[in-house]
Chain A
Amino acid sequence: MVPLWSFLIVAAALFCLGVYGVMARRNAVAILMGVELMLNASMINLVAFWRYVNPGEINGQVFAAFIFVVAAAEAAVGLALVIAIYRNRRTVDAEDINLLKW
């Protein structure tokens, strides 16, 4: 087996890729894809800690399953918002969506 920290590093790298995507991308759909990467990184962490620290109980996997639910809800609502904004303003460029910006 590989040590626990190699899984943690994979998750950390994936999370940081997601952070970069969220901060640097202009298209709102691309920003949502960055958020998906971050959620996946957190799931790798949960399952890895479950496997290496407490494999006797199933709790870690159940937690990860709840993240799936939250991720699905987030994707559905987020993409619905993107489509609604595109319909009203003909753009999904996060730079141009500044109606509420001070």
Chain B
Amino acid sequence: MGDVVFAIAFWVFTLLTLGGGLAVVTVRNLFHAALFLLVSLFGVAGLFVLLVAPFLAAIQVLVYMGAIGILIIFAIMLTRGMMRLEHPFNSQAVAGGAVALLVFVGLVLVVTPLADEIGLAEVNIPAEIIEEDDPADVDYETVSEMGRVIADRNGFVLPFELASILLTAAMIGAIVVAREDEA
């Protein structure tokens, strides 16, 4: 893939991700916010493709946009009366925005070459990693390699099984919590 094509794709998916994310937290109508959340998640799936993670991109579309997206839309519709609150933002919205902006500025200082230039470099990740723009090629099939590592005894079998138990417990818990009492 040419560098220019890569850069254009990166900017398109970045625009989708951040534009959708901004709309999620600012739009007044909650249903529209949920739809913008799907746009943002699609942008993230595109970034996964650019980062040579096709399996994660597929899971992002199937699980995040499909399952979790529908779950959120269901929850919004079940609480329909709350969809348009008179004031969608609470009294600390301005302070919250300031804190978020402050966190962003801090993160930008840490993760860009900017910190290097104003003499903060020693507390950071080494600049040559941050500025790396030509990583080694991924010369294996990521999907099959991932399947092998997850099922490998010296790999991630234990976390994998624990994740299954966590998911089962969470689903049973969700059913119990959301079920109507027939007492």
**Partner-B contacts on A (CB < 8 A):** 1-10, 12-21, 23-27, 29-30, 32-34, 36-37, 40, 43-44, 47-48, 50-53, 55-56, 58-59, 61-62, 64-66, 68-77, 79-84, 86-87, 90-95
Contacts and interface: CB of A to CB of B under 8 A. Distances in A.
B78 A86 contact: yes
Closest CB pairs A-B (n = 5)? A23-B96, A73-B170, A21-B25, A12-B107, A80-B174
Contacts of A17: 18, 21-22, 24-25, 100
B159 A66 contact: yes
Most chain A beta-carbon neighbours within 10 Å: one of B74, B112, B180: B112
B117 interface: no
Contact of B107 (A15, A32, A59): A15
Contacts of B59: 65, 68
B183 interface: no
Contact of A40 (B41, B129, B136, B149): B41
Interface in B32-49: 33-34, 37, 40-41, 44, 47-48
Contacts of A80: 173-175, 177-178
A4 B134 CA distance: 9
B23 to A, nearest CB: 10
Q: Does more than half of chain A's interface fall in helix, strand or loop, or is it mixed?
A: helix
B131 interface: yes
Given A2-B6, A86-B82, A27 B30 contact: yes
Contacts of A87: 180
Given A4-B132, A62-B146, A83 B79 contact: yes
A56 B136 contact: yes
Interface SS, B side: helix
Given A65-B59, A72-B68, A83-B178, A1 B133 contact: yes
A64 B59 CA distance: 11
Interface of B: 3, 6-7, 10, 14, 17-18, 21-22, 24-25, 30, 33-34, 37, 40-41, 44, 47-48, 51-53, 55-56, 59-60, 63-64, 67-68, 71-72, 74-76, 78-79, 81-82, 85, 87-90, 92-93, 95-97, 99-101, 103-104, 107-108, 111-113, 129-138, 142, 145-146, 149-150, 155-156, 159, 163, 166-167, 169-171, 173-175, 177-178, 180
Given A44-B47, A55-B136, A61-B146, A69 B166 contact: yes
Contacts of B68: 36, 71-72, 75
11 contacts: A9-B107, A25-B89, A29-B75, A36-B37, A72-B67, A72-B170, A75-B71, A75-B72, A81-B177, A82-B79, A86-B78
